[in-house]
Amino acid sequence: MKKTPSPKFQQSSQRKQNHNHQVLATVNDEERHNPKTASALKSFKNAVKKCAQIFSLFLLGKRKSASYVVENDDRKYTSKVRGVASSSTDLSSESNTKNSSKWKFSYSYASSSTASGQLGIGNFSFEEIYKSTAKFSPDNEIGQGGFGTVYRGKLNDGSMVAVKRAKKEVIHSHLHEFKNEIYTLSQIEHRNLVRLYGYLEHGNEKIIVVEYVGNGNLREHLDGIRGEGLEMGERLDIAIDVAHAITYLHMYADNPIIHRDIKASNILVTENLKAKVADFGFARLSDDPTATHISTQVKGTAGYMDPEYLRTYQLTEKSDVYSFGVLLVEMVTGRHPIEPKRPLDERVTIRWAMKMLKQGDAVFAMDPRLRRNPASIKAVKQVLKLALQCLAPLKQSRPPMKNCAEVLWEIRKSFRDETDSDHPSLPSHHSADFPQREKNKHTVFGIEDDDSYKFVSVPNHIRS
Ligand SMILES: Nc1ncnc2c1ncn2[C@@H]1O[C@H](COP(=O)(O)OP(=O)(O)OP(=O)(O)O)[C@@H](O)[C@H]1O
């Protein structure tokens, strides 16, 4: 069981009970997907149940007005119970006073009948974070982005976090909304979304603490600088994970969350090659969260941005669908959205790939790292067809994210069926486009020697 950082939080006993149920629900979900961990999870569940019982007894004796303080030092079990489902919150004050370097959110309940109270959803001290990154040591630097530098952090109990340290010039004119938004985002839990643990201010330092995902980002995998090269089946799994995550954001409560910056470097990869979407909602943090669409500033990354949004400055969920279309093309071609060193007609990857698709030459757009076989070639064509719909110039013509996920399920299903019938000896869950992957590692970047894969000849310029 992966360790996660510890919160100190205040909440009613009922809420705590609810969250213990939430823990169990999450565990059940994981258990379904990963039967190997079932017995470990069973013990975990028992431990959580026990904690809930002890906690209730504790509260009976410790009741203090309308809220309770829980100092929970057992970090192992806390990440899933820290969040408090509250659809309407108003962050009314911050506790980051001169004397305190700890972050804490306070809020009052929107439903007036309940006693308003204070709630801290998590608590890291600056000192703890500073120490966890070995004083922001360059050795712990794992990335650079628009917000600042990202560090790997190891907390006292050994659990890992990613620490995003803002550049000095990051100043938020709407600090209150910024914190409100961070609070909302910290409530969101989905297996394919990188969990946001909290936000910390200390002097000029602004720090966001998020779940650590340890196997690099999708772009690094596509570039071959991480892992062993992604198989077709693995790429389809990742595409589905991403589609699930975005669908969840778009359908989240009453207020859809638009990611605004879907791109391969924002898709983090776990050791088991599951995808987790990072930075959701971050791009809108400095905007007015009450607006129905955001029209003040264009945000996003060149090559992924919806042309309609660029024209109208009106952001909707369909802008994410467009970026997802770019990502799909990236995943099957292996190319970056913009490749300045290519011949002119190939520089914008989506334009080139769609031209190939329309000419019936989709196979030429296929990532040369992918092994060619009938199932993988068919899957590439189908993914490009879906991408074509996502990339429709007008947002009305783009499918909703949920439909994209469904289409991808179908593509994966037929890919698996076809590879299983080609290779009946393989287990059904095997992503079998690289059936002899270990044996043939050296051929990953080209066409297989095996005759059955030789029927497609790929021009040299595509393989380079
Ligand atoms: N939670 C995390 N766990 C592990 N690595 C991370 C995590 N978050 C970010 N990284 C790494 O740090 C890199 C930079 O992340 P960051 O989100 O700051 O920038 P970006 O999304 O790549 O770019 P930009 O902010 O300009 O859009 C990522 O590409 C990823 O490799």
Per-residue pLDDT of the chain (464 residues; tens, 9 = 90+): 334 444 333 333 333 333 333 333 333 333 334 444 444 444 444 444 443 443 333 333 332 222 222 222 222 222 222 222 222 222 222 233 223 333 333 222 222 222 222 222 457 888 999 999 999 999 999 998 877 899 999 998 899 999 999 887 665 555 666 676 777 788 889 999 999 888 888 888 888 899 999 999 999 999 999 999 999 999 999 999 999 999 999 998 677 889 988 999 999 999 999 999 998 766 554 344 444 444 445 667 888 988 888 888 788 899 999 999 999 999 999 999 999 999 999 999 999 999 999 999 999 999 999 999 999 999 999 999 999 999 999 999 999 999 999 999 999 999 999 998 766 544 434 444 443 444 333 233 322 323 232 223 333 333 32
Ligand 1 pocket: which of 167, 265, 276, 336 to mutate (most atoms within 8 A of CB): 265
Annotation says 261 is catalytic: yes
Q: Are the C-beta atoms of 389 and 406 separated by less than 8 Å?
A: no
Ligand 1 close to Cβ of residue 142 (< 6 A): yes
Q: Which of 237, 261, 287, 320 is catalytic?
A: 261
The answer to whether the CB of 166 is under 6 A from ligand 1 is no
Q: Is 279 in the pocket of ligand 1 (CB under 6 A)?
A: yes
- How far apart are the CA of 297 and the centre of ligand 1, in A? 21
Residue 449 has what DSSP assignment? S
Residues 346, 352 contacting (CB under 8 angstroms)? yes
Residue nearest to atom 20 of ligand 1 (CA): 145
Q: Whose CA is nearest to atom 15 of ligand 1?
A: 145
168 is in an annotated binding site: yes
Ligand 1 touching residue 365 (CB < 6 A): no
Measured between alpha carbons, how far is 400 from 248 in angstroms, rounded to an integer?
Answer: 12
Q: Whose CA is nearest to atom 11 of ligand 1?
A: 143
| Joined tokens for residue 66 | 């309308």
Q: Residue 50 is encoded by which pair of tokens?
A: 């026990």
Task: Name residues whose C-beta falls within 8 Å of residue 394's C-beta, 6 or more positions apart in sequence.
Answer: 308
d(CA 245, CA 250): 9
User: Which residue lies with its CA nearest to atom 5 of ligand 1?
Assistant: 213
- Answering whether pTM is above 0.80, one says no
Calculate how far, in angstroms, residue 282's C-alpha sits from the geometric centre of ligand 1. Answer: 12
Question: What values do phi and psi take at 79, rounded to 5?
Answer: -60, -35
Residue to probe by mutation, ligand 1, list 140, 268, 270, 327, most atoms within 8 Å of CB: 268
What is residue 180's DSSP assignment?
Answer: H
Closest ligand 1 atom, residue 265 Cα: 29
Give the span between the Cα atoms of 230 and 238, in whole angstroms. Answer: 10
Give the tokens for residue 189. 């839990």
Assess contact for 140 and 152: CB atoms under 8 A. Answer: yes
Is 211 close to ligand 1, i.e. is its CB under 6 Å away?
yes
Minimal-distance CA residue to ligand 1 atom 13: 143
Query: What are the Cα distances from residue 407, in Å, to 232, 243, 382?
Result: 16, 10, 9
- The alpha carbon of 263 and the centre of ligand 1 are apart by a number of angstroms equal to 11
The best mutation among 150, 222, 260 to test binding of ligand 1, ranked by most ligand atoms within 8 Å of the C-beta, falls on: 150
Q: What is the rounded CA–CA span in Å between residue 259 and residue 316?
A: 10
Q: What was the ipTM of the complex prediction? A: 0.97
